[in-house]
Chains A and B, each alone.
Chain A
Amino acid sequence: MADSRSSGDRHLLLVARKPRFGLPTACPSCLPVYLYLKLANADFSVEFDSSFSDADHIPYVEYGESVALNNEKGGVIEVLKEDDILDLNAKHTSLAIPDLVSTKAMVSSWLYEAILYELWIAIGGDIAHDIYFSDLPWPIGKILHWKKIYDVKKLLGVTKVNCEARELEIYKKANEAYDALSLKLGDQVFFFDNRPTDVDALFLGHALFVLHALPETSELRRNLLKHDSLVKYAEHLKAELQLDSTPSSTQPSSSSKDASTPSAPRRKPSSGWGSKPNPKPKKEKTEEQKKFRRRAKYFLAAQLVAVLVFLSLMGVSSESEIDDEDAVDYDEE
C-alpha cells in the first residue's frame, strides 16, 4: 500500500463498534476509520466499545496521551491529518486536491445520509439492533433505538408528510454519487493517482457496509450493485486488505461492556446526553481568581456559622428563661 506521512512509528489504538456481517467493525462510521488505518499500513490495534450506543465520539483513536475523537474537527481522519499522525493525502499533487475535496464532500454527505436513512428508517430495526443494541439490556436498547430513529429523522428532515419525497431525493442523490464515482474510478485501483486517499477509505467503508450488512431487499444495495466497477473495487480491496479475517482486537476488560451503540452523524453532535458542540478545555484560572474565590467561600461560611451560633445561643438563653418562668411550687397544692 502507499506510504503515508506518519508521526513516527507510534502504535495507535482504535476504539470502534463490534464486528459483524463479516466486517471488522459493523458500524458505518467506524469502518472508514478502520480502513483508513489499514490503507495507511498503520501500526494499530482495535478495541470494541459495547455500551455507548449514542456516543458521537466513537470511533476514536488513541495515540500516546492524546486522542482523536470523531466529534471533533470534522472527524477522526481529519484530526489524524491535522496532528501529523497519519495523512494518506500527503503524497498527492496539488492538482488533485480540489477534485479530492469535492469527491470527499459528496461521499461524506450524500452517501452518508443514504446509509443513515437506509439503516434507521427504511429497513427496520433488526440490523441496527444487531450492530448497536444487542449487547445492552433490553429496556435500554429499546429506548435508545427509538431515540436514535427520532434523531435521524430530525437530522434528515423526514416527516410523515414528506417521507416519500425525501426518500426519493436521498436515493436519487446516492445514485448520482454512484454514477460519478463509477466514472471517476474507471479501471483504476484507487480513485486518485492510483494511490489510496481518505476518499477511498470513506467510500470503501460505505460500499462494504452496503454490500455486506444491508439485506437484499435494500434499495440502496440494489442501486450499488448496478455499478459493477464500484462493486469490484470494494471486493478487490476487501481481499487485498484481508478484511475477512477478524482483526486482532481486544475486548474492553469491563465486565459489563458488550453492546454496541449507534453513532450520531459526524457533522452534527447528536442530541444525546453525551455531547456538547465544540467544548474547549477550561482555561486555567489565575492565581488571583482562585484566591479570591477561596476567600469568598471562607467569608460566606463564617457568616453562616456566626448566624447559626447566634441562633443556638439565643435558643439556649430563651429556654433557660422559660424554665424559670414555668417553675411551679408544687408543694403549695
Chain B
Amino acid sequence: MANSEPVPPDQAPPSDSEEINGTDETFEEGEDTEYEEVEEEEEEDELDPVKERERLKSIFRRLSTDPVHVRVHDVVIKGNTKTKDAIIEAEISDLFKTPKTVQELVAAASIANARLKQLDVFDSVSITLDAGPTELPGTTNVVIEVVEASSPLTGNVGVFSKPESRSWSLEGSLKLKNLFGHADIWDTSGIFGWDQSLEISTGVWLPRFRSVPTPLSARAFLLSQDWLKFSSYKERLMGLNFGLLSTNNHDLSYNLTWRTLTDPTRMSSPSIRRQLGHNMLSALKYCYKIDRRDSHLRPKSGYAFSSTSQVSGLWDLRGLKFFRQEFDLRAATPLGFWNTALNVGLSAGVTLPLGRDFTKLSTSVPDRFFLGGHSSLVCSLGGPSSLLGFQTRGLGPTDMRRVVNSNKDEGSVQSDGHDFVGGDLAVTAFADVSFDLPLKIFRDAGIHGHAFICAGNLAKLSEGEIKNFSPERFLKTFRSSAGVGVILPTKFCRVEINYCHVLKQFEQDRGKNGIQFSFSSPL
C-alpha cells in the first residue's frame, strides 16, 4: 500500500488495491497526491455513504476507460512453502513485462491467475496489484499469494469417452501433487472400458522442465483389450509413453510399447493367426488439433480440424514399421430457426507399411482402421471410427474363422463366423441436424433431439491390394445409415439414445436396425 497515515480498517479507502481472485476488485493508484485527495475527501464524507459510492464509481470509471499508465516494478510471490519460485515466475513472467495501462495489467493478472490455477497444485491463487515504492511514481508491485493444496493426495472417479477409445469407460485415479515442488503431478489410474478393456497406468506430468517451456509427461502403462468377439484376438500392451510437446493445438509424443496378440480360443482366421505374437512399437505421434466450435456437446457454429500422424519403426529394424495418418474435419452452422444447427463431418485415415517393397508387406491388425460402434458422431474428434447402426468393428474386410470338424462321422463342421480384419484406408462422413424438443423442461435441461445420416467404408491396401484399389468401387461400396435420437447431457455423462436404420450394408457386415445407446464424457 502507498505510504500514508494508518487508517482504521472500517474507514480505509477500499479502492487502493486490486485483488484478482474472481471475487471483488478494487484499484490502486501509485500517485500520492490523488491518495491524499481521497483521504481528505473521505474525512469530509465519512458519514455520507452515497457520496462515497459516487467517488468510488468515478475512480472505477476513470481506471476502466482512461489509459492510466503504470509500470510493474516487482513481482512478489507469497505462500509457496513447497513450490519453487521459479515455477511460478515461469508461468507469469511474460505477462507483466509488456502491459502499460491499468486495464492491460488487470487483464494480465487474470491470465496469470488462470495459468497458476491450471497447474492444479494450488487451492487458491490471489493476485494483488499494490503500490510501488514511493520514490518511483507510476509503478506497481504485483503480489501473488498462493495457497498450496492442503491435501496433496486426491482421488477421482468418472465416466469418460476419449476420442481414440471405442466406447465409454469408467476411470479411477489417484493423484499426488507437487511432490518435489516443481508443480509435478504424479498419478496412478485404472480404466475399465465397456468393451472389456482394462488399463493400469502411472505417470508424472511437469508443467515445464528446465529450458523446455511446454509441459512434459511420462507414463508407464499396461493395457489389455479383448477383441475375441470381433476379430478373434486379445491384445496386451505394455510400455512407456512420453509427452514431448503439448500446447493448445500441438501434441507430440513418443510411444515405446511391447504388444502381444494372442488367441486363447484357437478359432481365429488365417490372416489373424499370422498376426499373433509379439511386436515392438516404437512410434512418434504428432497431433494438430484446432476446435473453434462454440460447444463440444452441442455445437451450433464453428469448425474443428484435427490431423494425427504416426511413424513407427524408430527402435530398430525388427520393430513394427508403418506410417499412419488421420484427418478429421467438422463444421457447424445454425439453421436460423427453432434453435436448430447443422453439423457435418468428414474424416479419413490411411496406414501403410514402411520398408522395401512396402506394397507387398502387411500392416498389423491393431494399427488398421475399424468402423462401427456407438460413439457420438458430433462429439468425438479424432479420425474415422464411428458409424451408427453398425456394431463395433462391424464392417469391412473379413476372413473366415477356423472350421472345426466337430463330428467326423457325420461330417458336420462348425465355424464361428468371420473375423473383421480392418482396413488400411478408411473414410467416414456424416450430417447431423440438432433441434430443441417442444417441452420447456427439456430445453432447460439441455435435452435435445437430432437426426443424422452417416456413411463409411474400409479398404485393404497392403499385401499387394493397392494395385487392385479402385476409387469408383470404393465409393460404390460405402455403407450408410440414418436415424433420429435424443441427447441427454447429464452431470455424469452425455447420453445418446438413437434409433438407427441401416440404409446399405453388405453380407458380412453387422449392421442392425434398432435402438442404440451411446455414452460419452460430459466435458
Contact = CB atoms under 8 A, between A and B. Distances in A.
Given A67-B270, A312-B491, 4 more contacts: A69-B266, A258-B318, A259-B278, A305-B495
A256 B517 contact: no
Interface residues of A, number: 55
A contacts with B: majority SS: loop
A169 B321 CA distance: 47
B400 A274 contact: no
A286 to B, nearest CB: 16
Contacts of A71: 266
A250 B382 CA distance: 38
Interface of A: 15, 47, 49-53, 55, 57, 60, 62, 64-67, 69, 71-72, 82-84, 135-140, 144, 252-259, 261, 273-276, 279, 281-282, 298, 301, 305, 308-309, 311-313, 315-316, 320
Given A66-B403, A261-B277, A313-B441, A72 B318 contact: no
Nearest to B282: A137
A99 to B, nearest CB: 27
A65 B444 contact: no
B176 interface: no
Contacts of A57: 266
A84 B409 CA distance: 12
Interface in B181-239: 236
Given A51-B279, A275-B264, A256 B364 contact: yes
Nearest to B494: A308
Interface of B: 236, 258, 260, 262-267, 270, 273-280, 315-316, 318-322, 353-355, 358, 360-364, 400, 402-406, 408, 414-416, 441, 444-447, 463, 488-493, 495, 497, 515, 517
The 10 A-B residue pairs whose C-beta atoms are closest, nearest first, are: A51-B277, A52-B277, A137-B280, A274-B262, A65-B403, A255-B361, A255-B353, A308-B490, A254-B362, A276-B264
A96 to B, nearest CB: 25
Contacts of A49: 274, 277
A259 B405 contact: no
Contacts of B441: 313, 316
B302 to A, nearest CB: 25
A140 B280 contact: yes
Contacts of A309: 445, 447, 488, 490
Contact of A281 (B276, B414, B488): B414
Contact of A311 (B400, B415, B491): B491
14 contacts: A49-B274, A51-B278, A65-B400, A65-B415, A136-B278, A137-B315, A137-B316, A253-B463, A254-B364, A255-B358, A258-B318, A274-B260, A274-B264, A311-B492
